[in-house]
Amino acid sequence: MKLLEIRFQEIQETNPKWSSYLCFATALHKGEKNIRQEFNCLVDKEDYADNEKEDILSHLFTMSKK
Protein backbone atom coordinates (compact mmCIF):
# COMPACT_ATOMS: atom_id res chain seq x y z
CA MET A 1 0.00 0.00 0.00
CA LYS A 2 2.97 2.32 -0.37
CA LEU A 3 1.51 3.86 -3.52
CA LEU A 4 -1.71 4.71 -1.70
CA GLU A 5 0.29 6.28 1.12
CA ILE A 6 2.32 8.33 -1.35
CA ARG A 7 -0.82 9.53 -3.16
CA PHE A 8 -2.41 10.38 0.21
CA GLN A 9 0.60 12.44 1.28
CA GLU A 10 0.76 14.27 -2.04
CA ILE A 11 -2.93 15.16 -1.85
CA GLN A 12 -2.59 16.24 1.77
CA GLU A 13 0.38 18.49 0.93
CA THR A 14 -1.39 20.16 -1.98
CA ASN A 15 -4.66 20.56 -0.04
CA PRO A 16 -3.69 21.48 3.54
CA LYS A 17 -7.22 22.53 4.52
CA TRP A 18 -8.77 19.19 3.54
CA SER A 19 -9.56 16.60 6.21
CA SER A 20 -7.54 13.40 6.29
CA TYR A 21 -10.69 11.48 5.31
CA LEU A 22 -11.18 13.56 2.15
CA CYS A 23 -7.51 13.14 1.25
CA PHE A 24 -7.78 9.38 1.74
CA ALA A 25 -10.96 9.09 -0.33
CA THR A 26 -9.37 11.14 -3.10
CA ALA A 27 -6.26 8.94 -3.03
CA LEU A 28 -8.43 5.84 -3.43
CA HIS A 29 -10.27 7.41 -6.35
CA LYS A 30 -7.03 8.35 -8.06
CA GLY A 31 -5.86 4.80 -7.60
CA GLU A 32 -8.91 3.51 -9.44
CA LYS A 33 -8.32 5.97 -12.28
CA ASN A 34 -4.75 4.71 -12.61
CA ILE A 35 -5.84 1.08 -12.60
CA ARG A 36 -8.42 1.78 -15.31
CA GLN A 37 -5.92 3.72 -17.47
CA GLU A 38 -3.19 1.11 -17.12
CA PHE A 39 -5.66 -1.70 -17.79
CA ASN A 40 -6.75 0.00 -21.02
CA CYS A 41 -3.13 0.44 -22.11
CA LEU A 42 -1.65 -2.88 -21.04
CA VAL A 43 -4.31 -5.59 -21.22
CA ASP A 44 -5.07 -6.98 -24.66
CA LYS A 45 -8.75 -6.58 -25.54
CA GLU A 46 -8.75 -10.16 -26.80
CA ASP A 47 -8.10 -11.38 -23.23
CA TYR A 48 -11.63 -10.55 -22.06
CA ALA A 49 -15.12 -10.10 -23.45
CA ASP A 50 -16.45 -6.53 -23.76
CA ASN A 51 -19.30 -7.26 -21.33
CA GLU A 52 -16.80 -8.50 -18.70
CA LYS A 53 -14.60 -5.40 -18.53
CA GLU A 54 -16.39 -3.57 -15.69
CA ASP A 55 -16.55 -6.74 -13.56
CA ILE A 56 -12.84 -7.33 -14.10
CA LEU A 57 -12.01 -3.72 -13.18
CA SER A 58 -14.21 -3.92 -10.09
CA HIS A 59 -12.32 -7.01 -9.00
CA LEU A 60 -8.98 -5.27 -9.60
CA PHE A 61 -10.12 -2.27 -7.52
CA THR A 62 -11.02 -4.65 -4.68
CA MET A 63 -7.67 -6.41 -4.96
CA SER A 64 -5.79 -3.11 -4.86
CA LYS A 65 -7.40 -2.18 -1.55
CA LYS A 66 -6.32 -5.37 0.25
Q: At what angle do helices 20-42 and 53-64 cross, to 10 degrees?
A: 130
Residue 11's nearest CA partner among 26, 32, 28, 31 is 26
**Which structural domain range is residue 25 located in?**
2-64
- Beta carbons within 10 angstroms of residue 27's beta carbon: 19
pLDDT for the residue numbered 63: 75
Task: Pick the more confident residue, 1 or 47.
Answer: 47
**pLDDT over threshold 90, residue 6:** no
Q: Count structural domains, the chain.
A: 1
pLDDT, one tens digit per residue, over 24-64 is 878 877 777 788 887 888 889 999 999 999 999 998 888 77
Residue 58's nearest CA partner among 34, 32, 30, 25 is 32
pLDDT band at residue 13 using 50, 70 and 90 as cut-offs: very high
pLDDT for the residue numbered 1: 52
Q: At what angle do helices 2-14 and 20-42 cross, to 10 degrees?
A: 120
